C-alpha cells in the first residue's frame, strides 16, 4: 500500500480541520474529526480500505479515550494520531500481511499512532506559537477600533498557521512515511525484540489513557470502588458498556439523593459552597445540562 | 429598568454570537491568550447591536473581553451567554461595569473547566466512544457514524441550551453548577464516570503474560495467565493501569514519560520472556 500525493493532501486537509486549535469548531473539529475512531473512517475512505481504517481507528481510540487538554498542555496531538499515525499504521499492517481484525494489527496501530501522536505535539505548539502573530494584529485592530478585523484574526489568519504546521507535515509524512514503513518491513523482523516490544507496548498503552481518566475521577481511595465494580461487571459478568452505564445510573441516583439529604454543612472535599440557599426544585431539568 | 428605550438583544444576534463561539472558541489558540479571541468574536455582534453607530462605545466595551480567558468550551458557553445578558444590563445603565463582568468570567472559568473536563471529557465521551467502539468492532463504520451524529447533536444543542440558559438567567445560571445541587450532581456523575471507565478498561484492554510455553503455531497456552484469571479476571490489566495512575497521580510523571517507562517494562519483559505477542510473518 502506498499513499499518493493526492491522498496525502486530503489527509493534510483533515489534519487542519481537527487539530487542537481547530478550524472546524472545538466540538466538530477536535472532538469529532480528530477522534481516532472517526479518523480511522476518514483514512479508510481516503486510502480505499474502510475495514482496515476502522480497525486501526478502534485500536488507537482506546489509547485516547480520554484526551483531555487541561490548560492547553498536550501529551499527544490528534492531527498527528488520526491523520499521520493511522494512515502509516494501515500501510504497516497491510505490508506485513497482518489480519486487520487481529490483536496484533491493533497493537501495531496503537504503538505507531501513539509514537507519531507524541511527536506531533510539536505541531500543536508550533501552530499556537504562530497564532501569536495573528493575535498581535488583533490587538492593533482593537486599538484602532477596527473591530470587524477580529473575525479575520479568529477565523482567517490561523489557516496560514495550519497550512505550514498541519497541512504540509501531514502531507509529507504520510506520502514519504508510507514508503519508509514499507521499507522497514525487512529491517525489523516480527520475531525480533524491537517488534515484540512494540506490540507489547501497544497492548499496554490504553492503560495510560484510562489512567489519565482515573486521575480526574479519583481523589481518595474509596473512589476506586466504582471503577473496580465497573471493571468486574464487564470482565467477570461480561456486560457491555450500555448495561454497565445503566447499572451505574442506579448508584448515581442513590448518591445524588444522599448528597442532597445531607445538611449544607458538609465541607466535603473543599468544593465551592456558593449559593447555600439554592433550593432543589426542578430535578429533571438539571439532567439536561449534562 | 423601566426605561422607555430599554435595549434588548434580538434572538438573531444571540444566535450569531452563540455560533461564533461554537465554531470559533479556539480557532486562534495560543498559549498566551487561549480562548480570548474566540470570546472577543463571539461578543462582537452583541456589542454592535447594543451600541449601533457608536464606534467609541463599541471599542470601549469590547475591552472587557481582551482579558485572558480559558475554560471548557462546552460548558463554557453558559459563561458566554451570561456575559451577553450582563452586557445588555450594562447598556441599560444598571451599574454593571466591565470590571464586574470580568470578575464574573474570571471566577467561573476555573470551576467550569474542572466540571466540564470531568463531565464531558471524563464521562460523556468515554460512554459514547465505548458504545461506538463496540459497534465498530468488526471494521464496520456504523460505530464511527453513530459517534459523529450523536456527539455533534449533543454538543451543538447542549451548548446552545447552555448559552441561552446563561443569557436568560444571567449570573444566577451558574449557581446550579457551583452550588450544592451542582455538587450533588457532580458526585453522582463521578460514580457513572468511574464505573464506565472500569467497564471500558475491561472491555477493551487485555494485558496478558506469556510466562509459560507456546506451541509451534504461535498460540500461547500459559499457566500464569490462567492462574491470574482465576484470582480476578483481568488482574494484570488492572495492575498495569493502577501502576500508570500511580506514576502520574502520585509521582507526577507526565503521560509521555509514563509511556516511555512502559516501553522499558515491555522491553525487559520481552527479553525475560514474560511478554510475547507471538508473531510471525
How high is the ipTM of this complex? Answer: 0.79
Q: Which of A171-175, B57-61, B67-71, B217-221 has the highest mean pLDDT?
A: A171-175
Query: What is residue B279's predicted lDDT score, i.e. its pLDDT?
Result: 62
Q: How many CB pairs under 8 A join A and B?
A: 420
The Cα–Cα gap between B80 and B13 comes to 13
Determine the 3-state secondary structure of A203 from DSSP. Answer: helix
- Which of A32, A68, A225 faces B148 most closely, judged by CB atoms? A32
- Do residues B126 and B197 touch, judged by C-beta distance below 8 A? yes
Q: pLDDT tier at B171 (50, 70, 90 boundaries)?
A: low
Contacts of A132 (CB under 8 A, 6+ apart): B30, B32
Who has greater pLDDT, B240 or B110? Answer: B240
Query: What is residue A112's predicted lDDT score, i.e. its pLDDT?
Result: 85
Inter-chain touch B70–A142, beta carbons under 8 Å: no
Cell numbers representing residue A180 in the block: 519508509
pLDDT digits 0-9 by tens, B106-117? 777 777 877 787
B9: pLDDT strictly greater than 90: no
The Cα–Cα gap between A109 and A89 comes to 5
Q: Which of B138, B185, B151, B155 is nearest to A283 (CA)?
A: B185
**Residue among A217, A240, A273 with most chain B CBs within 10 A, to mutate:** A217
Inter-chain touch A68–B30, beta carbons under 8 Å: no
pLDDT digits 0-9 by tens, B118-145? 788 878 888 899 889 888 888 899 999 9
Inter-chain touch A27–B147, beta carbons under 8 Å: no
Query: What is residue B107's predicted lDDT score, i.e. its pLDDT?
Result: 75
Query: Between A103-144 and A193-217, two packed helices, what is the crossing angle to 10 degrees?
Result: 50
**pTM for the predicted model, two decimal places:** 0.80
The Cα–Cα gap between A232 and A237 comes to 7
Inter-chain touch B161–A288, beta carbons under 8 Å: yes
Q: pLDDT tier at B219 (50, 70, 90 boundaries)?
A: low
Chain B residues whose CB is inside 8 A of the A151 CB are 41, 44
How far is A125 from chain B, CA to nearest CA, in Å?
A: 8
Inter-chain touch A231–B191, beta carbons under 8 Å: no
Query: What is residue B10's predicted lDDT score, i.e. its pLDDT?
Result: 87
- Report the number of secondary-structure helices (H) and strands (E) in chain A: 13, 0
B2: pLDDT strictly greater than 70: no
B226: pLDDT strictly greater than 70: yes
Query: What is residue A36's predicted lDDT score, i.e. its pLDDT?
Result: 92
Query: What is residue B130's predicted lDDT score, i.e. its pLDDT?
Result: 87
Chain A residues whose CB is inside 8 A of the B192 CB are 245, 248-249, 251-252
Q: pLDDT tier at B220 (50, 70, 90 boundaries)?
A: low
Q: pLDDT tier at B218 (50, 70, 90 boundaries)?
A: low
Q: What is the pLDDT along chain A (290 residues), one digit of tens a residue?
A: 788 899 999 999 999 998 867 788 888 888 899 899 999 999 999 999 999 999 999 999 888 886 655 545 566 788 888 999 999 999 988 888 888 888 888 888 888 888 888 778 788 888 888 888 898 888 888 888 888 888 888 889 889 999 999 999 999 999 998 888 777 767 777 677 877 887 788 778 888 878 877 887 787 888 899 999 999 998 999 988 888 889 999 998 998 898 888 765 444 444 443 333 444 444 443 333 33
Query: What is residue A125's predicted lDDT score, i.e. its pLDDT?
Result: 80
Query: What is residue B1's predicted lDDT score, i.e. its pLDDT?
Result: 43
Query: What is residue B177's predicted lDDT score, i.e. its pLDDT?
Result: 63
B67: pLDDT strictly greater than 70: yes
Amino acid at each position: 500500500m502506498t499513499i499518493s500525493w493526492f491522498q496525502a493532501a486530503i489527509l493534510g486537509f483533515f489534519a487542519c480541520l481537527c487539530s487542537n486549535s481547530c478550524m472546524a469548531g472545538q466540538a466538530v473539529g477536535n472532538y469529532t474529526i480528530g477522534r481516532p475512531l472517526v479518523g480511522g473512517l476518514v483514512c479508510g475512505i481516503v486510502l480505499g480500505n474502510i475495514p482496515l481504517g476502522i480497525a486501526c481507528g478502534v485500536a488507537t481510540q482506546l489509547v485516547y479515550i480520554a484526551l483531555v487538554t487541561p490548560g492547553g498542555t498536550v501529551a499527544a496531538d490528534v492531527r498527528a494520531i488520526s491523520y499521520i499515525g493511522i494512515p502509516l499504521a494501515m500501510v504497516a499492517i497491510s505490508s506485513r500481511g497482518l489480519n486487520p481484525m487481529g490483536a496484533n494489527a491493533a497493537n501495531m496501530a496503537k504503538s505507531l499512532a501513539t509514537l507519531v501522536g507524541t511527536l506531533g505535539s510539536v505541531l500543536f505548539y508550533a501552530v499556537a506559537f504562530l497564532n501569536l502573530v495573528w493575535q498581535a494584529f488583533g490587538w492593533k485592530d482593537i486599538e484602532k477600533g477596527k473591530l470587524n478585523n477580529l473575525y479575520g484574526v479568529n477565523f482567517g489568519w490561523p489557516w496560514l498557521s495550519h497550512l505550514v504546521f498541519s497541512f504540509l507535515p501531514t502531507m509529507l509524512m504520510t506520502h514519504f512515511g508510507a514508503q519508509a514503513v514499507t521499507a522497514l518491513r525487512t529491517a525489523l523482523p516480527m520475531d525480533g525484540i524491537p517488534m515484540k516490544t512494540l506490540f507489547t507496548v501497544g497492548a499496554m498503552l490504553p492503560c495510560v489513557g484510562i489512567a489519565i481518566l482515573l486521575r480526574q475521577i479519583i481523589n481518595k481511595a474509596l473512589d476506586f470502588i466504582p471503577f473496580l465494580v465497573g471493571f468486574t461487571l464487564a470482565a467477570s459478568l461480561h456486560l457491555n458498556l450500555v448495561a454497565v452505564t445503566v447499572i451505574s445510573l442506579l448508584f448515581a441516583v442513590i448518591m445524588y439523593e444522599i448528597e442532597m439529604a445531607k445538611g449544607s454543612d458538609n465541607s466535603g472535599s473543599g468544593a465551592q459552597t456558593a449559593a447555600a440557599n439554592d433550593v432543589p426544585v426542578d430535578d429533571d431539568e438539571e439532567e439536561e445540562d449534562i | 429598568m423601566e426605561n422607555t428605550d430599554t435595549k434588548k438583544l434580538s434572538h438573531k444576534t444571540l444566535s450569531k454570537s452563540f455560533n461564533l463561539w461554537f465554531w470559533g472558541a479556539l480557532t486562534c489558540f495560543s498559549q498566551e491568550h487561549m480562548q480570548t479571541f474566540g470570546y472577543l468574536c463571539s461578543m462582537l455582534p452583541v456589542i454592535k447591536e447594543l451600541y449601533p453607530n457608536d464606534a467609541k462605545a463599541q471599542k470601549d466595551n469590547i475591552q472587557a473581553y481582551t482579558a485572558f480567558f480559558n475554560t471548557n468550551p462546552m460548558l463554557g458557553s453558559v459563561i458566554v451567554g451570561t456575559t451577553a445578558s450582563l452586557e445588555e444590563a450594562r447598556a441599560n445603565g444598571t451599574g454593571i461595569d466591565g470590571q464586574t463582568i470580568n470578575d464574573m468570567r474570571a471566577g467561573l472559568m476555573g470551576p467550569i473547566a474542572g466540571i466540564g473536563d470531568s463531565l464531558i471529557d471524563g464521562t460523556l465521551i468515554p460512554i459514547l466512544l465505548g458504545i461506538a467502539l463496540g459497534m465498530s468492532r468488526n471494521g464496520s463504520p456504523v460505530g464511527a457514524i453513530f459517534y459523529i451524529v450523536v456527539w455533534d447533536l449533543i454538543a451543538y444543542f447542549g451548548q446552545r441550551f447552555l448559552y441561552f440558559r446563561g443569557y436568560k438567567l444571567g449570573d444566577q445560571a451558574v449557581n446550579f453548577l457551583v452550588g450544592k445541587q451542582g455538587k450533588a450532581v457532580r458526585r453522582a456523575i463521578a460514580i457513572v464516570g468511574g464505573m464506565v471507565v472500569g467497564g471500558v478498561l475491561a472491555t477493551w484492554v487485555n494485558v496478558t503474560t506469556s510466562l509459560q510455553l507456546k506451541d509451534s503455531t504461535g498460540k500461547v497456552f500459559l499457566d500464569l495467565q490462567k492462574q491470574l484469571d482465576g484470582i480476578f479476571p483481568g488482574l494484570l490489566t488492572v495492575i498495569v493501569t493502577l501502576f500508570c495512575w500511580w506514576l502520574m497521580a502520585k509521582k507526577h510523571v507526565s503521560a509521555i514519560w509514563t509511556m516511555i517507562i512502559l516501553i522499558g517494562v515491555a522491553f525487559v519483559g520481552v527479553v525475560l520472556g514474560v511478554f510475547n505477542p507471538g508473531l510471525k510473518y
